[in-house]
């Protein structure tokens, strides 16, 4: 039976991007193992626990994807502001080039403009409220004929459409924020999903061992073997994802007891003579020993040169004794 994991599962899954992490569980684990859980009461409860916490990640991931649309809030705010400014620029042109009826319409609309001229400098929420009031005023009998007189109905309709676009995205963001408050952040839920997955792996391994030592049920053995193969294939695929992204060597900084780690190749030492001297620690030629220092006691057998030196000293002592006699 090939090894189920080649590096720490925690380390591997932590390094996946949010989309990669979601797809790993959604397709390779949750959907792939669903049909295999029937007839495996030993591990089906662990699978259900994993699916329950993954449902939270599923919801949060979809929210995170939808939140990309909230980047359009600034764009749509600029769009409604541009149409609003274009409306009043058009009114100003009629003030100088229009007919007598146009002049009267301009005068009427200038009063409306004075009411809302600071609107586009307001925050999103305030501007939305004022924009609703403005569009309602444009439909009133005292202003609508003047808008029609100047042929500006189409511009007003574009302001209304862009306001509706903005409000839809703005309301969706508010709804998403409420959901996040209920579900938790994606960065908080992902570790919970990983822990539930590791528990499932441990459960599968334990169930396999128990069946092999106990009942030896061939149907259980076959199903557990399929589960293990699916999990192994999913993990190997995740490893390939990291490899393709450039993480060929994954540092296992979350390694725990019982977990294995991908071996790394030690660095090749530089050729002799090319090493950079270590200036922090002087070599023997740079070291001066104080005569009062205690000598270093080294067993002569540890180095031949030390043994020869000691033999020479002893021979010299013997010669000195003979001379004195």
Task: State the CB neighbour count (10 A cutoff) for residue 97.
Answer: 8
The confidence score (pLDDT) of residue 3 equals 40
Predicted confidence (pLDDT) at residue 302 exceeds the cutoff of 60:
no
Predicted confidence (pLDDT) at residue 30 exceeds the cutoff of 80:
yes
Q: What are the residues whose beta carbons fall under 8 Å from the beta carbon of 226, sequence distance 6 or more?
A: 36
The confidence score (pLDDT) of residue 261 equals 36
Banded model confidence at residue 137, pLDDT cuts 50, 70, 90: very high
Write out pLDDT tens, residues 73-131.
888 899 999 999 999 999 999 888 878 899 999 999 999 999 998 898 888 888 999 99
Predicted confidence (pLDDT) at residue 181 exceeds the cutoff of 70:
no
- Of 61-70, 265-274, 297-306, 315-324, the range with the lowest mean pLDDT is 297-306
């Amino acid at each position: 039976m090939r090894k189920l994991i080649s590096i720490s599962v925690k380390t591997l899954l932590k390094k996946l991007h949010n989309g990669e992490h979601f797809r790993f569980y959604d397709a390779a684990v949750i959907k792939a193992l669903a049909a295999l859980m029937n007839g495996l009461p030993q591990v089906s409860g662990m699978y259900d626990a994993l699916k329950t916490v993954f449902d939270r990640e599923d919801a949060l991931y979809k929210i995170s994807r939808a939140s990309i649309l909230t980047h359009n809030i600034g764009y749509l705010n600029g769009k409604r502001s541009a149409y609003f400014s274009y409306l009043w620029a058009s009114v100003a042109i009629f003030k100088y080039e229009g007919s007598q009826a146009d002049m009267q319409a301009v005068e009427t609309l200038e009063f409306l403009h004075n009411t809302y001229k600071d609107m586009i400098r307001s925050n999103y929420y305030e501007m939305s409220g004022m924009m609703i009031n403005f569009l309602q005023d444009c439909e009133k009998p005292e202003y609508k004929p003047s808008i029609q007189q100047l042929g500006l109905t189409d511009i007003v309709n574009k302001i209304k459409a862009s306001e509706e676009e903005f409000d839809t995205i703005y309301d969706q963001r508010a709804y998403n924020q409420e959901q996040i408050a209920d579900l938790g952040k994606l960065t908080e839920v992902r570790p919970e999903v990983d822990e539930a997955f590791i528990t499932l792996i441990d459960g599968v391994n334990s169930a396999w061992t128990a069946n092999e030592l106990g009942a030896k049920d061939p149907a259980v053995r076959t199903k557990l073997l399929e589960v293990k193969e699916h999990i192994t294939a999913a993990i190997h695929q995740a490893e390939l994802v990291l490899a393709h992204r450039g993480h060929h060597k994954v540092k296992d900084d979350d390694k725990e007891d019982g977990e294995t780690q991908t071996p790394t190749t030690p660095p090749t030492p530089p050729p002799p003579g090319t090493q950079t001297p270590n200036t922090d620690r002087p070599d023997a030629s740079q070291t001066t020993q104080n005569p009062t220092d205690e000598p270093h006691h080294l067993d002569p057998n540890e180095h031949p040169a030390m043994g020869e030196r000691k033999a020479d000293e002893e021979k010299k002592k013997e010669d000195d004794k003979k001379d004195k006699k």
